[in-house]
Amino acid sequence: MSTHLIEVNNLRKIYSVRKKEYLYAVNNLSFYIEEGETYGLVGESGCGKTTTGRVMLGLEKADGGSVSYRGKNLCLLKEKEFRPFRKELQMVFQNSLSALNPRKRIGDILEEILLVHGIKNSAKRRETVMDMLTRVGLLEEHYFRFPHELSGGQVQRLGIAGALIVKPKLIVCDEPVSALDVSIQAQILNMLVKLKKEMHLSLLFISHDIGVVRFISDRIGVMYLGTLVEEAKTENLFENPLHPYTKALFASVPDPYMKKKDFEKLVGEQQKRNEMFLGCAFCKRCPNADEKCRKEVPELREVESGHKVACHYAK
Ligand SMILES: Nc1ncnc2c1ncn2[C@@H]1O[C@H](COP(=O)(O)OP(=O)(O)OP(=O)(O)O)[C@@H](O)[C@H]1O
Ligand SMILES: [Mg+2]
């Protein structure tokens, strides 16, 4: 039996940007997350990571493909039918503060989430909130504080508390530590790893920071222009990156080990993908691109067990 908790198949999200002009923010994207797994989605700004997370959680409608959660296609559900899944699928944002009501005390914010999810007993709510605050490394006294009275790191802890308090199965973490300094990043990542184990969670971890994704992920999908160009177990990806884009990403990491490999740095800019787009998503920036790359979309093919790459010439 499949242990895939969630499966994304040929997902597509198209935005209309101007009259008769469309942008393919997510295009033919497929991956799965197993129960208990952390899947890292990495790629440069604008490649469609956030859009993917939002569509998976039903915050935006897909324009094609499916998101299958425990065998149910979430894309076909109406708002009311989606409700039972809201509790199980939660999201943590880069800037949790903007999602918090500044006029409410932290305790009330968290209790309200429980109330929405049907916990009517106020003593139970308070107890759950106090427990959650300490689990994410906040203090019970924070219950009475307002969001703006917290530091950046504490705000992100609160964002995580808000997602975890309803005991979800999967959380989508969208750049949850990107705005924090490195030492606080490490503390929060370690906390996420610990909570994931304790609460039997699965994680989709979105980031443009390859180092952060490497630390936390079991498997990694490298995304470029709305689609996956490479996917592998974390250690395999770092040991043997195959796609020219993955190599270019690694070349930009200030890590002497990676530098040794002498990968070519990324030049130029990401194009916009629209209906006129032919060929490989990366061909305009690829040092090895030829006529075939400009005409034929390379399939994401498995080159060794669990290691997939979408490049005509990757071996
Ligand atoms: N509501 C929208 N309307 C039109 N275009 C959008 C909308 N949301 C996102 N886009 C576009 O879709 C593409 C993907 O955006 P998305 O936010 O998913 O990227 P990202 O990988 O999360 O980037 P970042 O790392 O900067 O957060 C971008 O080109 C963006 O401009
Ligand atoms: Mg984003």
Instruction: Give a yes or no: residue 298 inside a domain.
Output: no
**CA–CA distance, 310 with 301 (Å, rounded to integer):** 6
**Measuring from atom 5 of ligand 1, which residue has the nearest CA?**
15
**Measuring from atom 16 of ligand 1, which residue has the nearest CA?**
48
Stretch 175-180: mean pLDDT, rounded? 91
**Whether residue 182 sits in one domain with residue 143:** no
* pLDDT for the residue 181: 92
The Å distance, Cα 16 to ligand 1 centre, comes to 12
51 lines ligand 1 (CB under 6 A): yes
Instruction: Give a yes or no: residue 297 inside a domain.
Output: no
pLDDT at 48 over 90: yes
**b/e sequence 22-61, b meaning 16+ C-beta within 10 Å:** bbbbbbbbbbbbbeebbbbbbbbebbbbbbbbbbbbbebe
125 lines ligand 1 (CB under 6 A): no
Mutate to test the pocket of ligand 1, among 12, 42, 49 (most ligand atoms within 8 A of CB): 49
Q: Which residue type is seen at 104?
A: K
Note the pLDDT tens digit of each residue in 276-305.
Answer: 678 898 988 898 899 999 999 999 999 999
User: What is the residue-averaged pLDDT of the chain?
Assistant: 91
**Whether residue 254 sits in one domain with residue 195:** yes
38-42 and 202-207 as β-strands: parallel, antiparallel, unpaired? parallel
**Whether residue 181 sits in one domain with residue 151:** no
**Whether residue 185 sits in one domain with residue 269:** yes
pLDDT at 109 over 70: yes
**Whether residue 201 sits in one domain with residue 231:** yes
Q: Which residue, 302, 118, 48, 190, is CA-closest to 314?
A: 302
Q: Which residue, 247, 228, 225, is CA-closest to 237?
A: 247
Domain count, the chain: 2
What CATH number is associated with residue 10?
A: 3.40.50.300
* pLDDT for the residue 256: 61
**Whether residue 143 sits in one domain with residue 51:** no
Instruction: Give a yes or no: residue 179 inside a domain.
Output: yes
Note the pLDDT tens digit of each residue in 64-81.
Answer: 999 999 989 999 999 899
pLDDT band at 62 (very low <50, low <70, confident <90, very high): very high
Instruction: Give a yes or no: residue 19 inside a domain.
Output: yes
**Measuring from atom 11 of ligand 1, which residue has the nearest CA?**
25
> Which ranges of the chain would DSSP assign to H, the alpha helix?
49-56, 79-86, 106-116, 122-135, 152-164, 182-198, 210-216, 234-239, 244-251, 256-259, 291-295
Stretch 202-230: mean pLDDT, rounded? 96
Report whether 140 contacts 173 (CB < 8 A): no
Stretch 14-29: mean pLDDT, rounded? 90
Q: Which range marks the domain in which residue 148 is found?
A: 102-167
**Whether residue 178 sits in one domain with residue 83:** yes
Note the pLDDT tens digit of each residue in 138-164.
Answer: 999 999 999 999 999 999 999 999 999
**CA–CA distance, 67 with 236 (Å, rounded to integer):** 26
**Whether residue 124 sits in one domain with residue 191:** no
